[in-house]
Structure formats: structure tokens, C-alpha cells
Amino acid sequence: MAAKNNSVFFEDLDVIDYKEAWDYQEKLFNRIVEQKVYNRNHPEDTASTDNHLLFCEHPHVYTLGKNGSENNLLVNMLELQQKEATYYKINRGGDITYHGPGQIVGYPILDLDNFSPDIHQYVANMEESIIRTIAEYGLSGGRMKGASGVWLDPDQPSKARKICAIGIRSSRWVTMHGFAFNVNTDLSYFELINPCGFTDKKATSMQAELGRPVPMDEVKVKVRDHLAEIIGMKLP
């Protein structure tokens, strides 16, 4: 059996096209899965699996999870082009969401056998990293029953608003996709969709809640460090 490896390669990809980042994720994901299959079939010659954490921002793009409904995209392709936005059906869980400038998108590509092989706990850990981050800015985030992600005022249905969406894919305990955290995001783009399938909930951002833009690099460090601590990642 290969030894557990909690070391994680961290990369900030800056602003990157969604499809380019997706292809890169798939490459890393498949490499880890292939190593696990090899280890299982060759117990005499096993090797540890790698782990990766990617941060980035995307140009305006909408993505629809495999169980989502296209009815939650409220405009047609021509209108999307006019907004300089693209659209992809992808292989994560969850419904439709938006990615764009001013949003930290995190893609942990981890072999959870190196940490804790529990998908529900893994999602909760991502949520907790955002909850702890926004708490450093005086914002109180929480979870809403039956809905992943991080919410403000989750216990007040008429006021609940989402600051971070989460949607993942996993196979053989290897993860990809991840979270989209609204820092200085242009929230008008959420008006073109029913975010995460909700028709009665709004999106928010740190900038909207605080009344000022927040330095992206500063927030990235906080999210990265909280995530590493909670999951047990060893970063370079």
C-alpha cells in the first residue's frame, strides 16, 4: 500500500479561460486516478498519489452541473454573447452558477485517501474555510439545510444570500471542481440565472456586504491557509 501523502502543490493560475482550466483539472485528476488504479493492480510497486490546489479567476462564464436544469439559464445564447459570457455543461454536481472577475475559484484536486475519505466532510471543510475567512472581515456565514455553499443569514429565508457556491466531482476518492467565492464580483451577472437552481435566493459578495472592494490577493492567502489547516494539507 502506498504511503499517505498530504503534500499539496498550490498554483495561482490568475485569470484563465474556463475550458483551459477545466482541461488542466482533468489532466491532473486523471493522472491521480490512473496512479490509484496502478497501485491497486500492482501492490508490490505502489507510489504515493499527488494532490493539487488551483486558484484562479475566470472571464464571464456560466456552468451547468450534470443534474442541473437548463431552465435555470434565463437568457439565450445571443444574449450571453452580448454580455461577453460563455456557457458550459460540465461534470460536477450542483445546478447552474456563474464565474467571473473578482471571484476566487478554487479547484482542490485531491486524493482524499491521503486525508479523510468522506465527501460530506470534504464539502463541509471547504465551506468552513470560507466561513472562517469572511469572519476575519466581520461577516457571519453559515450553512443552509439542503443547500451546499456558504450563506449569510441562512436562518432567515427572506434574507438568505449566497456568498460561495460549491460543486464537485469525485471518483475513487479523487476530487475536482470546487468552490466559487464572491469577493468583488459583479453581481448583476447572477440576474441571468436562477443561482444554483434557487428562484427565491440572491447572491452576494464581500464587496457588497462591506461596502468596499477587498484585496483579492489578501483574501486568497486567508482562504488557502484556512483550507490547508482544516483539511490537513501540507503546502510548500
Identify the CA nearest to 113 among candidates 3, 236, 193, 205.
3
Determine the 3-state secondary structure of 69 from DSSP: coil
The one catalytic residue among 85, 168, 187, 196: 196
Q: Could you identify the residue written with the cell 452558477? A: 97
CA dihedral (86, 119, 161, 212) in degrees, to 10, reads -70
Q: Give the integer Cα–Cα distance in Å for 116 and 193.
A: 34
Q: Give the integer Cα–Cα distance in Å for 66 and 108.
A: 19
Identify the CA nearest to 115 among candidates 67, 173, 169, 57.
173
How crowded is residue 76: how many other Cβ atoms within 10 Å of its Cβ?
A: 9
Check if 164 is active-site.
no
- Cα separation values, 218 from 53, 102, 165, Å: 17, 13, 20
- Supply the residues annotated as catalytic: 196
